Amino acid sequence: YAMLLSLIFLIVLVAAVVGFVFRHEIKTNFESNLNVALRGYNGTADRHSEAVDTIQRTLHCCGVQNYSDWERTEFFTHRGIPQSCCKRQDDCSEEDLKDPSKAKLKVFVDGCFFLVTSTMESKMSIVAGISFGIACFQLVGIVLACCLSRYITNNQYEMV
| pLDDT tens, position by position, 18-73 | 877 888 888 889 899 999 988 889 877 788 889 899 999 999 999 999 999 998 88
Give yes or no for a contact between 150 and 20, defined as CB atoms under 8 angstroms apart.
no
CA distance 91 to 107: 10
CA distance 103 to 93: 9
**CA neighbor of 142 nearest in space, from 14, 16, 12:** 12
CA distance 42 to 89: 19
- Please give the backbone phi and psi of residue 88, each rounded to the nearest 5 degrees, phi first: -130, 125
Over the stretch 93-134, which tens digit does the pLDDT of each residue have? 888 888 888 888 899 999 999 998 888 888 877 888 888 888
Looking at residue 73, the DSSP 8-state letter turns out to be S
**Total of domains in the chain:** 1
- CATH code for the domain of 87: 1.10.1450.10
Q: Domain range spanning residue 17?
A: 1-158
Collapsing DSSP states into helix, strand and coil, what is residue 43?
coil
Give yes or no for a contact between 9 and 142, defined as CB atoms under 8 angstroms apart.
yes
Instruction: Give the CA-trace dihedral at 59, 60, 64, 67, to 10 degrees.
Output: 180
CA distance 89 to 143: 58
CA distance 153 to 148: 9
pLDDT, average across residues 8-21: 85
CA distance 157 to 74: 79
- Please give the backbone phi and psi of residue 42, each rounded to the nearest 5 degrees, phi first: -130, 5
